[in-house]
Structure 1
Amino acid sequence: MAVYIVSYDLNKGGQDYEGLYKELKNSPSWWHYLDSTWLISTSETAEQLYARIGKHIDKNDYALTIEVRRNYEGWLPKKAWEWIREHIG
């Protein structure tokens, strides 16, 4: 399985994005420690993942899906790093 970072800016105030969050949580495994960033572990391609979640955002929103590789660094809680090491290596 691949891991993708999904990052977004939701620009429509008052819009209900619950469908987006549910769709992201329907992934085989996911990580969400940062407000508008998710890591999604899935057998889908980046295009397939975006097609699945893209229907839940507005045309004035922004979203980015990129495959994550082993070169990473940051400051996160221990549980976050455990998920990353388990799913990315």
Structure 2
Amino acid sequence: MSDFVITYDLNNPGQNYAAVEKAIKACGEAGRVLETVWYLSSAMTGDQVLAKVWAAMDGTDRLLVVDARAAWGQNIGDRWNIIDRCWNSKAA
């Protein structure tokens, strides 16, 4: 399993955030950390995650998938739970 941080900008009014969220969740265990920042634990490669999520977006949008191996956060409440459960448990 690999850990990823996914972040994106949907640039046209009326964009389908639900479709992007569904695509991210289809890649593995995912949790929204900030409005358009997600943590993902997945058996997929970064290229596969990028292709899957990009398919739910259009050509004016922006998408970044980062292979992430450590995390620190502040003031993100229960959004930290998925990171702590899936990511930090691997380091223990």
Same fold (TM over 0.5): yes
Q: In the alignment, what sits opposite 1:84?
A: 83
Measure the CA separation in 2 of the matches of 1:31 and 1:80: 7
Measure the CA separation in 2 of the matches of 1:17 and 1:82: 22
Measure the CA separation in 2 of the matches of 1:85 and 1:6: 17
1:59 maps onto 2:59 in alignment: yes
Q: Which amino acid aligns with 2:28?
A: P
- Could you list the runs of 5+ residues in structure 1 that have no partner in the other structure? none
Measure the CA separation in 1 of the matches of 2:84 and 2:15: 34
Cα offset, 1:62, TM superposition: 0.6
Asked if the contact 1:24/1:53 (under 8 Å) is kept, the reply is yes
Asked if the contact 2:33/2:39 (under 8 Å) is kept, the reply is no
Larger fraction in helix: 2
Asked if the contact 2:27/2:52 (under 8 Å) is kept, the reply is no
Deviations, residues 28-82 of structure 1 (Å, cap 9, x unaligned)? 3111131001111101111000111111111111110001112x222121x3333
Q: Give the aligned CA root-mean-square deviation in angstroms.
A: 1.5
Alignment size in residue pairs: 87
TM-score under structure 2 normalisation? 0.83
1:73 maps onto 2:57 in alignment: no
- Could you list the runs of 5+ residues in structure 2 that have no partner in the other structure? none
Asked if the contact 1:12/1:60 (under 8 Å) is kept, the reply is yes
Asked if the contact 2:33/2:80 (under 8 Å) is kept, the reply is no
Query: What SS does the aligned partner of 1:33 have?
Result: strand
1:45 maps onto 2:45 in alignment: yes
Identity %: 26
